[in-house]
Structure 1
Amino acid sequence: MAERHGLSIAILLAGLAVTALPSHAQSLSNGEQFAPTRPPVSVRYGSAHSQIMNFWRASGRTPAPLVLIIEDGGWPTRQTVSAYKLAATLADSGIAVAAMGTRPRRPVGVRTIVADVNNILQFLASQAERRGIRTDQFAIIGVGSGGAPAALMATEPGWTDGTALAFENLRALILIDAAGLDPELTLRTARPDRRLKILEALGETEEKRTANSAIGHLATPNVPDALLLLSEERRNRRGGTDFSALLNEHGVITEVREMPRTDTSNNRGIFGNPLNPATRGLIEYLAQRLGK
């Protein structure tokens, strides 16, 4: 290929529907008010009726670095409260955030998600000045089943061919209770009713499944840093820990952190809230990688 471009877009934690992160509004207690959630603006990034994303403009000085959130297999069926809180918190911290909008549930392959993110990147790059974003500092956050396409994008330089973004501008990869990183392990541990959907998303043959996973591209230049968050409520951590080991073997500095069990009784227990320790740690991690 000629010069290969890649992604480096922010990966935000938005897909909480398939993870242990909270997915519903919480009641107030202990006299603490939950931080207000700043709503995003809906932006159409393509001609298709469903090509609408949520965008949070960064507060403070712009242009700002960008984080792309991939959750729930790409297009979530609904936006979660915690995802909105995290996006708003990042935006308040001076980081712009983009996340795919909701769509009806339907089987979709990893490559389809990646192609759609390519459209998002092209659109955002064309409106960088208007949206107040930089085109040279990005990060990707993959949540739950959104971890598979996020990891693929962070390890295959060619996926952003045709965009104005270069792969070396990708500053960080963050995976939260990611699923589908190892296709064969995913198939072996999947319930029978899930196997058909997994095969449709990742491929009918082992060769196709490898090509649709980050594992198949680890020999190429890839993101220099990665952060994996594993919640206490996550039962099967093998995929995340194995993937971390593979990244380390290929020179990707990988940090694994455990997330405390969600406590909905106060602000500090709700992921996405600025008072939450895990959220603060994530913001600090991004700030270091994005040079803020």
Structure 2
Amino acid sequence: MAADSPRMTWADLRARPRPAADATISYGSDPYQIVDVWVPAGRGPHPVVVMVHGGCWQTSIADAKLMNWIAGDLRDDGIAVWNIDYRGVDRRGGGYPGTFADVATAADRLAIEAKRFGLDTRRVVAVGHSAGGHLALWLAGRSRLPAGSPLRMPHPLKIAHVVSLGGLPDLADTAASPENGCGTEVVARLVGTGRADPYADTSVPRLLPLRVPQDLVNGREDRIIPYRMALGYVKMAAAAGDRARLHTVPDTGHVELVAPDTPAWIEAKRLVKAALAGRAE
């Protein structure tokens, strides 16, 4: 099967040799409260990407190793990767607030460990795929969390730019859209209950403007995340005053977004490198 086919499957990706991280650190007691660290050869400090995997916010579907192929590709190109794992909604302690708290704690740990691994945190780019696209954008908007939210933490890691790969930024839209590949029930488990507005501190549009540039890379033939979701979010972000751009990759589905050498990943990596250099593309 051609790498740029919209029918590329997870089995196709997993059949490729999978590179391994250089180190793993723990930020909690759960086996999924870890970060895989990818460090390029040579002396640092190295530019760094915070990476967040998808899997419909469910540990049983995916973990951080799903991102190993593109993490390895970035490392080979001189870019370090802080690849976050977290408890999904199907794991004890996951859901609200645990899943969000895990991602936030893992991201903030970068500032503590940066010197140890020779990482340059002056300009951090967040990259997320699918549900991880939502979480990467959410990380960029943490300073906008409403007062009283248990997800507010002191001194959140500053994200300079976000590249979302087939993400689901608008949880309210996702919950109301049966055609999304994650289903609607998982969103209810993610945002929790017992609050007047469960989307106020969980759904990215409620945090707009993020005041962080955002690039959304989406396959036009994505059968898991409907293309209209990216289109709708970019319109909302732009209307709020954010620099948000949608990069549409033709003849591309969902898996290709995290497969090296595909047109989708080539475009995403171009955007990552430009963002790390402080250039607007």
Q: Give the TM-score taking structure 1 as reference length.
A: 0.73
Contact 1:87 1:272 in 2 (8 A): no
1:174 aligns with 2:163: yes
Alignment of 1:1-292 (within 5 A): 22-25=9-12, 37-50=18-31, 51-71=33-53, 72-73=55-56, 76-77=59-60, 78-79=62-63, 83-101=67-85, 106=90, 108-109=94-95, 111-157=97-143, 161-163=153-155, 165=157, 167=158, 170-179=159-168, 181-190=169-178, 194-204=183-193, 207-219=197-209, 221-223=210-212, 225-235=213-223, 236-261=226-251, 272=258, 274-291=260-277
Amino acid at match of 2:101: A
2:104/2:139 contact within 8 Å kept: no
Cα separation, partners in 2 of 1:194 and 1:26, compared to 1, 3 Å? closer
Structure 2 residue runs without a partner (length 5+): 1-5, 145-150
Which ranges of 4 or more aligned residues in structure 1 deviate by more than 6 Å?
102-105
Q: Deviations over 1:182-203 (max 9, x none)?
A: 2332222137x94433212124
How far does residue 89 in structure 1 lie from its aligned partner after superposition?
0.7
Inter-partner Cα distance in structure 2 for 1:272 and 1:200: 26
Indicate the SS of the match to 1:199.
helix
Letter in 2 for 1:55: V
Q: Counterpart of 1:257 in 2: which secondary structure?
A: strand
The 3-state SS of whatever aligns with 1:62 is: coil
Identity %: 20
Name the count of aligned residue pairs. 257
Aligned Cα root-mean-square deviation (Å): 3.5
Secondary structure of 2:116's partner? helix
Distance 1:213 1:103, change over 3 A: closer
Cα offset, 1:230, TM superposition: 1.3
**One-letter code aligned to 1:226:** Q
Quick one: which amino acid aligns to residue 84 of structure 1? N
What does the per-residue CA deviation read over 1:27-80, in whole Å, with 9 as the maximum and x for residues that have no partner?
99xxxxx7x643113513224032222221123441112212212245644458
> Structure 1 residues 288, 195: closer, same or farther in 2, change over 3 A?
closer
Bigger relative contact order, structure 1 or 2 (CA pairs below 8 A, ≥6 apart): 1
Q: CA 1:73/1:100 → structure 2, altered by over 3 Å: closer, same or farther?
A: farther
- Name the amino acid aligned to 1:44: I
- 8 Å contact from structure 2 (residues 166, 216) kept in 1: yes
Q: Distance in 2 between matches of 1:82 and 1:109?
A: 20
- Equivalent-residue separation in structure 1 for 2:270 and 2:41 (angstroms): 16
124-133 or 55-64, which deviates more: 55-64
**Cα offsets for 1:239-273 (capped at 9, x unmatched):** 2111101111122222211224359xxxxx96555
SS in 2 for 1:127: helix
1:164 and 1:244 mapped to 2: Cα distance? 24
The letter for the 2-side match of 1:87 is: A
Q: TM-score scaled to structure 2, two decimals?
A: 0.76
Comparing 119-128 and 97-106, the one that deviates more: 97-106
